[in-house]
Amino acid sequence: MIVQALQALFTPISLLAVFIGTTSGVIVGGMPGLTATMAVALLIPVTFALEPLTGLLLMGGVYCGAMYGGSIPAILLRTPGTPAAVATALEGYPMTQQGRGGLALKVSVVASFTGGMFSALVLLMIAPVLATFALTFGPPEYFLLAILGLAGIVSMADDENRLVKALISGLIGLILAVVGTDPMSGMLRYTMGLTDLFDGVAFMPALIGMFSISQMLELTGAKSIVTDKTLITKIKKEPLPKGIGKPMALGSVVGTIVGILPGEGATIAAFVSYNIARRRSKNKELFGKGNPEGIAAAEAGNNGCVGGSLVPTLTLGIPGNSVAAALLGGLLVHGLIPGPELFTKYGIMTYAFILSLFVANVIFLILGLFMAPYFARISLTPTALLIPVVCLFSVLGSYAMNNSILDVFIALLCGLAAIILQKTGFSLGALILGLILGPIAETGFAQALIMGHGSYAIFFNRPQAIALWGIILLLLVPPIYQIYKHHHQQKG
């Protein structure tokens, strides 16, 4: 069947569909406010007119390309093209400021390729087995998974003062996520009567405000992003830095596993990978100042999510994340029902689709490596022209998610607040992490307590939950010990 699938894939029309899909994905992912979900959803009606396989290949290409594309503006302009690229911006933008934006883009594309290839391989080899394991996760495990993501906040601090401020920032993010409809009762909370807040504070406008608008406001005092312009011309000659292999491998595994869990997204995968890499790195002190290891882990993590999220989508009909949900819609309109039949009766099409993910990864790798030096030149644009244009796209991106002017004001407010919070030592990364993980944490916590009839024992008496507690402790102990040691050294 694999041979027949390869034959179906290596036809000019199919390859063209993968190429167009991947290229469009990179462009869409590179524009703040246009997400992979939106692009795949918009493609569904287009695929009506196409052969089912061609339509699927187009959508798969967009998914892979967009996941990588989000890292380009995140690195060059500190404006994540997709929410999954926030962790990339934390390391990528400082590298751009040092004139190493091209290298950061190279690391990003290689890591994205590695993560994408690994997860596609996992999807091809062990999809049904892993999907069954993911089904054993219930609300307590989802809550603990959110805690696992939040544990990263601790590693964002290096002394007790910073730790408390990082935790406060994370809590503010969790509190902002509470705004909207109560997931259990349907009651409206803290919406001030604004219908646009019924679904909660949309995190894309908040994210655009905190990372993009705040950066543009800060840049008003500079003539260009890069201080040493001569470094930009050296991009082609600079080899990949040493030591990025381990974080890439780690990100690929973490991203694939997180992707397999229904409802978990590439953003969480990127943050979890980034935080684990930060903890395990020999150059911890360089994190936040432009460490390629951080980009490698985050990008391998979010692209690792692509194949992972398709495991439950194709085998059980449970989408791994919102993009996979849109893709599932595309499958259903063509009469392709997820389940065993997809791997038997429609096996050629399904395997051709899975194999096309490998091709899509190769396409964006070539595209990224070839185009990196040209993309990096964006950082040479005079700020007088660049800032208004980025602000326009930030406003557009904030509006386009929900067609809401209120979202634009939220982005502006978050932008101004971000500058003040950052200058007073609060962590924006922790805040955004809280905002993203808040709904998963709240729903998991509330549902688990209902399941356990109000008893907290439910968080400790299941094997999966115990395993997750173990991982959380493993993540928390080393940074807390480091802070304790640092505190004692200062006293001494």
Partner 1 sequence: MSKRLAELLILSGYLILAVLLYRSTASYPPSVQGSTAMYVRFLGTALGVLCTLELLLWFKNRGQGETDKLKLTTAPIRFWGLAILLVVYAASLSMLGFYLSSAIFLPIAMLLLGATKPLSIGLTSAGVLFFVYLVFAKLLEVPLPGSTLF
CB nearer to partner 1: give 172 or 333.
172
Q: Considering the rule CB under 8 A, would residue 445 count as an interface residue with partner 1?
A: yes
Q: What is the DSSP string of 255-272?
A: HHHHHHSTT--HHHHHHH
Cβ at position 48, least distance to partner 1 in Å: 15
Instruction: Count the alpha carbons within 13 Å of 99 in the hemisphere toward its beta carbon.
Output: 11
Q: Considering the rule CB under 8 A, would residue 389 count as an interface residue with partner 1?
A: yes
| CA 308 to each of CA 2, 77, 253, 265, 313: distance values in angstroms, whole numbers, following the listed order | 20, 29, 10, 10, 9
146: tokens are 């959110």
CB nearer to partner 1: give 121 or 383.
383
Kindly identify the residues of this chain, within the stretch 8-37, that bind partner 1 according to CB under 8 A: 27-28, 31, 34
Question: Residues with Cβ < 8 Å from 409, sequence gap 6 or more?
Answer: none
Locus of tokens 């009469």:
335
> What's the rounded Cα separation, in Å, for the pair 156 and 482?
12
Task: Using CB under 8 A, pick the residue from 230, 424, 489, 490 that binds partner 1.
Answer: 424
| 198: Cα separation from own chain's centroid | 24
CB nearer to partner 1: give 73 or 115.
73
CB nearer to partner 1: give 230 or 424.
424
> What's the rounded Cα separation, in Å, for the pair 476 and 363?
39
Contact window for partner 1 (CB under 8 A) among 73-81, 99-107, 248-256, 422-430: 422-430
**Site map (CB under 8 A) of partner 1, residues 187-206, x = contact:** x-xx----------------
Question: Residues with Cβ < 8 Å from 264, sequence gap 6 or more?
Answer: 145, 258, 320, 321, 440
Q: What is the DSSP string of 98-132?
A: TT-HHHHHHHHHHHHHHHHHHHHHHHHHHHHHHHH
Contact window for partner 1 (CB under 8 A) among 116-124, 130-138, 194-202, 445-453: 445-453
**Site map (CB under 8 A) of partner 1, residues 216-255, x = contact:** xxx-xx----------------------------------
Residue type, 454: G
Contact window for partner 1 (CB under 8 A) among 48-56, 117-125, 182-190, 277-285: 182-190
Catalog residues that contact partner 1 under the rule CB under 8 A: 27-28, 31, 34, 38-39, 42, 160-161, 164-165, 167-168, 171-172, 174-175, 178, 182-185, 187, 189-190, 213, 216-218, 220-221, 382-385, 387-389, 391-392, 395-396, 399-400, 403, 405, 408-409, 412, 416, 419-421, 423-426, 441-442, 445-447, 449-450, 454
